[in-house]
Amino acid sequence: MGPLLNPDVFTFSVFILLLYPLMLFVNLVVFAFFIIKGSYLKALLPFVLIVAGWPIHSKIIPFSSPNLVASEGDIKVVSFNAFYGHHLAKDNVDESLLPKLLKESKTPNILVLQEHTPTVHQWVQQYFDYGQPIKSGEYRTAIYSKHPVSDWGFIPFGNLDNNCLWADIRLPEGKTIRIYNIHLQTNGITHLSAEIMQEKVELTESYFRRVYNILLNYRVASAKRVEQLNQLFEHVESSPYPVIIAGDINDVPISYVYRKLSIGRSDSFLQRGRGLGTTYAGNIPFLRIDVIKPDQHFRVLSHKVIKGDFSDHYPIVAVLRLNE
């Protein structure tokens, strides 16, 4: 039910999403318990609940096809939240490994970065031959392209860190595509969650206050993401070209925001990914909040997540083929 309810209207819907992993785990445990006990009739209820939740489960663990071999005209897109370059500047991080991994087949045709800074730009310039990026002032999104950019613009979301850039990119064969680099509203719960995970679970007033603040921040941020998504869709509808939306959506695959973003678009992870596809390397485990979502004009050939201590996010890589 959570993915169907707009958190800007039904504020309780975000709490349903946060409880979902616990509810699924409990149902799996109860189902396994009754099966082991041989109480098959009692196992029927949790089994039905698990099956009924299949549309949600399938957004978390994909049953995808194998990767396909790319050809010369295909488009390699990389999305990476660079965390302002903090990790890339650390002495203990082999920052030369990330460009090597990104260049395994070829340099990305399009590289979209969130939390971009002059430090991050220097890092890109050191390893890639892109020239100047598309960006607006010091706003923290940037688009690097191997191909000419015929037009570009900026969709402000009201703060420095969360916004959207778009660019019309002319491919070598003469066709033009539009890429949107999005960084939706941050939840602002990283430090609170870190404090909770570092301490013992004690049912004190302080503990419950922190949990309440996490839930409150998440609810407020969810509503803002819906507003930002509406701004994005208004712009996307005017695009005369095939569209790719990529970036950090700060929301999970079972959310209302993700469902709306998926209408008329595929998910490179669900098409070609494996496992949980975790993209967040911070304190909250198993989160997939970075996406590459092409519209129906594209076919997804491959998807991978590059693991490493490069940021508090992992870069994601998708190879797309523009349909004839």
- Would the CA dihedral through 62, 67, 71, 77 be positive or negative? positive
pLDDT (0 to 100) of residue 57: 65
- Digit-coded pLDDT (tens) for 44-103: 887 887 777 766 666 777 766 788 888 889 999 999 999 999 988 777 778 789 999 998
296: exposed, middle or buried (Cβ count in 10 Å: 0-12, 13-18, 19+)? exposed
Q: What is the pLDDT of residue 12?
A: 55
- Cα(304)–Cα(68) distance, integer angstroms: 12
∠61-29-199 over CA atoms, to 5°? 80
Task: For residue 290, list its beta bridge partners.
Answer: 248
- Tell whether domain 75-189+215-322 is in CATH 3.40.50.300: no
C-alpha neighbours within 13 Å on the C-beta side of residue 98: 29
197-225 pLDDT per residue, tens: 555 555 566 655 666 666 677 778 888 99
Distance between CA atoms of 176 and 153, rounded to whole angstroms?
Answer: 15
Residue ranges of domains in the chain: 2-57, 75-189+215-322
pLDDT at 264 over 90: yes
Distance CA 6, CA 8 (A): 5
CB 60 within 8 A of CB 2: no
CB 7 within 8 A of CB 256: yes
User: If you write DSSP's letter for every residue of 33-54 in order, what string do you get?
Assistant: HHHHHT-TTTTHHHHHHHHHTH
